[in-house]
Amino acid sequence: MTQPDSLAQIGVVGLAVMGSNLARNFARNGHTVAVYNRSAGKTDALIAEHGSEGRFIPSYTIEDFVASLEKPRRAIIMVQAGAATDAVINQLADAMDPGDIIIDGGNALYTDTIRREKEISARGLHFVGAGISGGEEGALNGPSIMPGGPAESYKSLGPLLESIAAKVDGTPCVTHIGPDGAGHFVKMVHNGIEYADMQVIGEAYHLLRYAAGMEPAEIAEVFREWNAGDLDSYLIGITAEVLSQVDAETGKPLIDVIVDEAGQKGTGRWTVKAALDLGIPVTGIGEAVFARALSGATAQRAAARDNLPTGTLSTLAGRGVDREAFVEDVRRALFASKLVAYAQGFDEIRAGSDEHNWNVDPRDLATIWRGGCIIRAKFLNRIVEAYNENPDLESLLLDPYFKGELGTLVDSWRRVVVLATELGLPVPVFASSLSYYDSLRAERLPAALIQGQRDFFGAHTYRRLDREGSFHTLWSGDRTEVRTD
Ligand code: ATR
């Protein structure tokens, strides 16, 4: 059946900044875009300010909006996460026909997406939970998009998303991630990695500032240099911009007038909660989330500031450390810690994928994160290569290329953690990532002792290196060992 030209290929519900920028991106790429917002003001503003950028069909009721879409209808919801999203999904589902596709482009919790997909597919419609990264700018000029949901719906939706996504070497930063909640899960972990990435950059800045005594403008130059090498990434680039900014009012570096309490919207916390449930140590991400929480613990920080004993502190000069060498050591510690954060994030994605039978291909993620999103970085090409060479890689750290890199990084990494400790400067992600690394490669772990303790107080039993089976020592008896299985 041919359809009239006047119908829209895609619709956007919710025209706050993200929604209207996404709608404009579709329109600028030649699609007719149906737009609807609960209150008419945002719809009118979009048409008045940007109506000339392409073909928009504004509607003022959900029914008219749905009627303005060609079949199978495709509608992206960009409203507040939670109850608002549920309300809009239901309104759309009531007005749509079997085979139509509802896409949630918000930052939904993946378990909500799994639930919604079940409910919507039971009504004969397709539901796609799509993670969209890149912020307002990305939504307008090319985001990285992580759609989940049924593979079948990607056939109809994929080309549309590919047309608006960021492109790297001609490859669009979007692909079908996997069924139901896979897209939102992966977006969640992306954000978790982003937390760790930002924190390690923060720790590097802190050391250059307070260990090496460099000024923000000088540090900005260091980050610019780093951005020309292995660390080339969006976040390093914007860090240099932030550090160069001078406050117009006071003439001070802007960084010095910003309150040092980091906000968060919750995706980092979700990443850690999910990792706890899956039993995956995402220590870098966890420390990054906790570091933000600690920064906001104002009362405790005020009580502790200049009040808790420091022990004997050192200085770079006191330790006889050359500043230039230290800067290079910090760069290496940052790179190594970042590698750990990515390795842990990919571990979580693999565990989530196994748990939910999503069959997520890590290469897809590294590919579509190369552009559009906040963690875009040159180094993601290396991750694609690592998984190309060995799709079953036990850990990214074990890839021959990254292993080689770690060989050149690890001495610096250790020196930086030791120095930071001696200077009394906090480096939670640098230090915990190094401990993770040393735990992973350890011949023996104190877990044997923990098993002994558990057996002592709770008869939880232990396994032996030299024999099969479960064993218990009669701790409160004659301390002989019995086999328990
Ligand atoms: P922002 O803070 O950027 O404006 P927001 O508060 O998260 O974003 O809201 C985003 C969108 O969700 C808005 O388009 C809002 O519609 P209104 O402009 O009418 O407020 C929409 N939204 C929020 N709750 C909604 C609901 N229950 N039903 C439909 N749309 C809703």
Give the ligand 1 atom nearest the CA of 38.
19
**Crossing angle for the helix pair 380-389 and 400-423, nearest 10 degrees?**
130
Is 187 a residue of the active site? yes
What 8-state DSSP symbol labels residue 233?
Answer: B
Give the ligand 1 atom nearest the CA of 79.
12
* Residue nearest ligand 1's atom 7 by CA: 80
What's the confidence (pLDDT) of residue 439?
98
Q: What is the pTM of this model?
A: 0.95
What's the confidence (pLDDT) of residue 25?
98
What's the confidence (pLDDT) of residue 271?
98
Q: What is the mean pLDDT of each run of 10 residues along the chain (485 residues)?
A: 72 98 98 98 98 98 98 97 96 97 96 97 97 95 97 95 97 97 98 98 98 98 97 97 98 98 95 98 98 98 97 95 97 98 98 98 95 93 96 96 98 98 98 98 98 98 98 98 97
CA of 112 to the centre of ligand 1 (A): 18
Question: Among residues 117, 145, 141, 121, which one has the least CA distance to residue 133?
Answer: 145
What's the confidence (pLDDT) of residue 1?
39
CA of 85 to the centre of ligand 1 (A): 9
What 8-state DSSP symbol labels residue 228?
Answer: T
Give the ligand 1 atom nearest the CA of 14.
14
Q: What is the Cα–Cα distance from 67 to 77, expressed in whole angstroms?
A: 16
Beta pairing class for 171-172 and 167-168 = antiparallel
3-state DSSP call for residue 124?
coil
From 42, 70, 71, 194, the catalytic residue: 194
What's the confidence (pLDDT) of residue 4?
52
Beta pairing class for 101-104 and 126-133 = parallel
Q: Is the CB of 87 under 6 A from ligand 1?
A: yes
The answer to whether the CB of 97 falls within 8 A of the CB of 81 is no
Q: Dmax of the chain from CA atoms? A: 88
Q: What is the Cα–Cα distance from 297 to 306, expressed in whole angstroms?
A: 16
End-to-end CA distance of the chain: give it in Å, rounded.
68
Q: What is the Cα–Cα distance from 415 to 333, expressed in whole angstroms?
A: 9
Helical segments of 124-211, H only: 135-141, 151-164, 182-210
Question: Among residues 269, 278, 429, 270, which one has the least CA distance to residue 339?
Answer: 429
What's the confidence (pLDDT) of residue 433?
98
Q: Is the CB of 88 under 6 A from ligand 1?
A: yes
Q: How far is CA 161 from the centre of its chain?
A: 20
Q: Is the dihedral of CA 389, 394, 395, 400 positive or negative?
A: negative
Q: Is the CB of 38 under 6 A from ligand 1?
A: yes
| Tokens describing residue 259 | 């309150």
Q: Is the CB of 15 under 6 A from ligand 1?
A: yes
What's the confidence (pLDDT) of residue 5?
59
